[in-house]
A = this chain, B = another copy of it.
């Protein structure tokens, strides 16, 4: 089972175009638009610079393709979970399960998206628009109704949503910090991330449990 956010194209054709795209994705994710160099991408793909331009015309266009592909893959996941109308508890649990698992397989994607959003919020918005901005209304309403029925402790729905997302995403952004501060080795880190799903679920549901 491979949850990696790879590319838009289906199948695993090992075309030159594909190899360039994958090399570019890795480098852009790691170093950002300005930090990435065409030479480095070419080296990683095992080709020369000229070919990058042959297939993608310019660095900017190549970056566009990569960014779009990553966003196209990540956003629908959020949308689907947030917009579905399954029961609240189930939805939250499913969201945590799926989201942590997804990031676990694509640990650098959140930083890429967060950086992109902060540096170029407008171009990001344009990329998101066509595939549809996640609409949290259903979720927010579900929370309010659950509160009215006394099923969960009162909390502003927006804060609940952010709390859940924070605990899913941030540990991956702060991975190097964890390493240093908690002085964990690779094995301990892996275990830590494997435990996360259950821990976050328990934490959230404990926080929501009414008196």
Partner of A203, one of B118, B155, B182, B196: B155
Q: Which residues of B contact A114 (CB under 8 A)?
A: 111, 114, 173-174, 177
* A195 CB–B CB distance under 8 Å: yes
Which chain B residue has the least Cβ–Cβ distance from A140?
Answer: B182
Partner of A118, one of B111, B158, B192: B111
What range describes how many residues of A lie at the interface? 35 or more
Q: Which residues of B contact A195 (CB under 8 A)?
A: 156, 159
Residue pair A176, B118 in contact (C-beta under 8 Å): yes
C-alpha spacing A153/B210, complex, angstroms: 15
Partner of A166, one of B30, B167, B180, B209: B167
Q: Which residues of B contact A180 (CB under 8 A)?
A: 125, 128, 133
C-alpha spacing A98/B203, complex, angstroms: 23
* A51 CB–B CB distance under 8 Å: no
Residue pair A133, B181 in contact (C-beta under 8 Å): yes
Known: A163-B203, A166-B167, A176-B121. A158 touches B111 (CB 8 A): no
Which chain B residue has the least Cβ–Cβ distance from A180?
Answer: B133
Residue pair B115, A200 in contact (C-beta under 8 Å): no
* A170 CB–B CB distance under 8 Å: yes
Q: Which residues of B contact A167 (CB under 8 A)?
A: 162-163, 166-167
CB A178 to nearest CB in B, in angstroms, measures: 7
From A3-11, A12-20, A32-40, A53-61, the one touching the partner chain is: A32-40
CB A15 to nearest CB in B, in angstroms, measures: 30
CB A203 to nearest CB in B, in angstroms, measures: 5
Partner of A163, one of B128, B179, B200: B200
